[in-house]
Amino acid sequence: MTVDTGVLDRLAERLDTAQHTVTGTEQLSEPLTPADAYRIQEAVIARRLARGERPAGLKLGFTSEAKREQMGVSEVIVGRLTDAMRFPDGGEVPLARFIHPRVEPEVAYRVARDVAPGDDELPVDAVAPALEIIDSRYRNFRFSLPDVIADNASSAGFVVGPWLPLGVDVGDLSVRLVVNGDTVETGSTSAILGHPERALPTLLKIARREGMPLRAGDVILAGGATSAAPFPPGRVDVHIADLGTVSVEGTDR
Ligand code: OOG
Ligand code: MG
């Protein structure tokens, strides 16, 4: 099944409007393949770039069983990040921009140089503790696999902690998500495909297939290590052993 450009544009417009008017929309009822859904995602992002946002990297979704189970989706997916989604470590996140935001602990990698078509590895030069803010544009945070791909993998915001040079083995580090002082999720970085580094070849393959460029300095989010938790007003901290802490403050505005 392949949707024509008119349908694709209409669905992209609907998701884009849901995002910037902060209003949940119905799930997509058209029969879409994952390939169709990635074309919708590209068209949604094209609208954001046309408003002046800049590409900032890519994220993986559903690389951990905890996330697949929480959302009922069984395949690894990719979404696109822009500079408007980035919030500084220790900074504020205006929650009024989101429909029903959730937070989750992530491991971030930094792309070392522009990736060329012949590269057989994704070159990265740093790793960091990170947190992701996800916000489905669908009502009740419910979706099918094509729905969530089209909705840019629920991407809404991300925060990267201090970059560390590669060398720390991030394969099995304890992870803690703390919301307003309460530990709401604990886990290990091994939940991410067995080792977060495995996110890199997985990402390269999907990015190639879907024609997503990867450039020097891009941020890669390897995927949530635990289930996501609601993001209420107040402070969120993600602690990852040996990597460090990343924090933000959600505000009512
Ligand atoms: C989709 C995004 C999944 C992850 O880290 O697995 C994701 C969602 O859960 O709404 O970001
Ligand atoms: Mg995530």
Strand, helix or coil for residue 50 = helix
* CATH number for 22: 3.90.850.10
156: closest CA among 86, 204, 221, 109? 86
The answer to whether 218 and 200 have CB atoms below 8 angstroms apart is no
Assign 2 a pLDDT band (cuts: 50, 70, 90). confident
Structural domain of 238: 5-251
Q: How far apart are CA 147 and CA 30, in angstroms?
A: 10
- Per-residue confidence (pLDDT) for residue 35, from 0 to 100: 96
Q: What is the per-residue pLDDT across 51-66, written as a single tens digit (0 to 9) for each?
A: 999 999 999 999 999 9
Pocket of ligand 1 (CB under 6 A): 59, 61-62, 67, 71, 104, 132, 134, 136, 148, 153-154, 223-224
Pocket test residue of 64, 136, 154 for ligand 1, highest count of atoms within 8 A of CB: 154
pLDDT average, residue stretch 101-113: 98
Number of domains forming the structure of the chain: 1
Q: What is the pTM of this model?
A: 0.97
Q: How far apart are CA 221 and CA 228, in angstroms?
A: 14
Q: Whose CA is nearest to atom 7 of ligand 1?
A: 61
What is the side-by-side strand order in the sheet with 174-179?
92-94, 244-251, 234-240, 174-179, 182-188
3-class DSSP assignment, residue 127: strand
Kindly list the distances between the CA atom of residue 74 and the CA atoms of 77, 141, 159, in Å, as whole numbers in the listed order.
Answer: 9, 16, 26
Q: Whose CA is nearest to atom 8 of ligand 1?
A: 154
Q: Over the stretch 199-253, which tens digit does the pLDDT of each residue have?
A: 999 999 999 999 999 999 999 999 999 999 999 999 999 999 999 999 999 999 8
User: What is the three-class DSSP state of 31?
Assistant: coil
Question: What does the mean pLDDT of the chain come to?
Answer: 97
